[in-house]
Amino acid sequence: MVIDTLRVFNKHVMNPVMMLLAGQKYWYAGVIEHTGRHSGKAYSTPVVIERVGDGFIIPLPYGTQVDWLRNVLAAGRATLRVHGETYGAVEPEIIDAAAAGGQLSPRRQREFARFRIRNYLKLKAESVPATQN
């Protein structure tokens, strides 16, 4: 119950504030741009994005049923804005903590383990950065 309350609070209060800095060069959070699977509407959601070998890993602290994730899985792609650059990302796949851990830095592994994050979204980079913000 507490996690649902926190999720709703973050969605309606914190996310609009986070969007002011998310995706900027020196900010820890990025932005995932996705299209509504039913509405076709464009959405932008602040998330933590980690660059790894062939793509990106996004921790899923609220589980695998959040709207933005379902939109990305349905579309099979998203646009990521992270550290001042914009990337196309494809082949979304939900992976577990063990699979993600081997690709993350030890510091990030500890941080995410502390929050008991069990699932992650893995995306492959579609191309080199599309733009620099």
Phi-psi region of 89 (alpha: psi -120 to 50; beta: other; left: phi over 0): beta
Q: What is the pTM of this model?
A: 0.85
Query: How far is the C-alpha of 58 from the C-alpha of 78, rounded, in Å?
Result: 12
User: pLDDT tens digits, residue range 64-122?
Assistant: 999 999 999 999 999 999 999 999 999 999 999 999 999 999 999 999 999 999 999 99
User: pLDDT tens digits, residue range 20-67?
Assistant: 778 989 888 999 999 999 999 999 999 999 999 999 999 999 999 999
Query: How far is the C-alpha of 109 from the C-alpha of 103, rounded, in Å?
Result: 9
